[in-house]
Structure 1
């Protein structure tokens, strides 16, 4: 999903089912407050749903962007010149790289509800991070945008 004029931008939004879970959290809060009366029950429904929705929304607010020669993934910002080749990972490979192949020094931007990812080597000798693992719904587009941002080799 292209959101701005940058070469690549994606928001890793929470799945729709999480909004149903937000309502169910509000319903649970309402049931806990039911013995106190109707108004506390309604306040529990509204408040519980709102708090759960804010949590779901903030978890899904993380973005991956390429802007001004830098890759911005969540809170991380790294110049594309310090990055090596981007490897597109299908669901099976992505699972392997977040489990038994994972390196504890790697930067992982994981979203369990997104099965595909990109693994990008970090070539900066000053950076101890061996690679970036980024969950993305469009791994081919992100890899292509990174190649384009680096320019001709």
Structure 2
């Protein structure tokens, strides 16, 4: 029998890519036939090749440029922004009508936010740092319960 060291909870991490919805990707792919139409008077084969390249490039760019949400090594990263979890309060998980309100009428100008259409879940976390101009971080997540659990876990140092 092999002795396997249990994985340390400190090495546990969470990462999620906020990729565009299928409808947005399908809408972006419509650019392919538009590009092909532009080149069709020149050459039919060229039009097909250009259309295919344009469609693939747009879809790949949308997916590659999508922001990520990550909790690792005591740091919450949302897109290019990051903050230590020790500077955050307890995370709130918002879904349904609560999430809709958090993305709309309850979103304040002093909140930092990264919201994505087509993603229902929202996590709201109070910022405890008095020097930070943002009072809350409000961001989209497809699995807000998991993000909140990982933030809480990282705050406890486990």
- Quick check: 1:15 aligned with 2:21? yes
Normalising by structure 2, what TM-score? 0.84
Rounded Cα–Cα distance in structure 1 between residues aligned with 2:122 and 2:155: 20
Equivalent pairs counted in the alignment come to 147
- Report the counterpart of residue 54 of structure 2 in structure 1: 48
Instruction: List aligned pairs for 1:1-150, cutoff 5 A.
Output: 6-60=12-66, 62-150=67-155
Q: What is the CA-CA distance between 1:125 and the residue it aligns to? A: 0.6
Rounded Cα–Cα distance in structure 2 between residues aligned with 1:79 and 1:23: 38
SS in 2 for 1:31: helix
SS in 1 for 2:40: helix
SS in 1 for 2:31: helix
Q: Greater CA deviation, 78-87 or 32-41?
A: 32-41
Give unpaired runs (5+ residues) of structure 1.
none
Rounded Cα–Cα distance in structure 2 between residues aligned with 1:13 and 1:23: 15
Rounded Cα–Cα distance in structure 2 between residues aligned with 1:121 and 1:77: 14
Normalising by structure 1, what TM-score? 0.86
Q: What is the CA-CA distance between 1:13 and the residue it aligns to? A: 1.9
Larger radius of gyration: 2
Rounded Cα–Cα distance in structure 2 between residues aligned with 1:82 and 1:29: 49
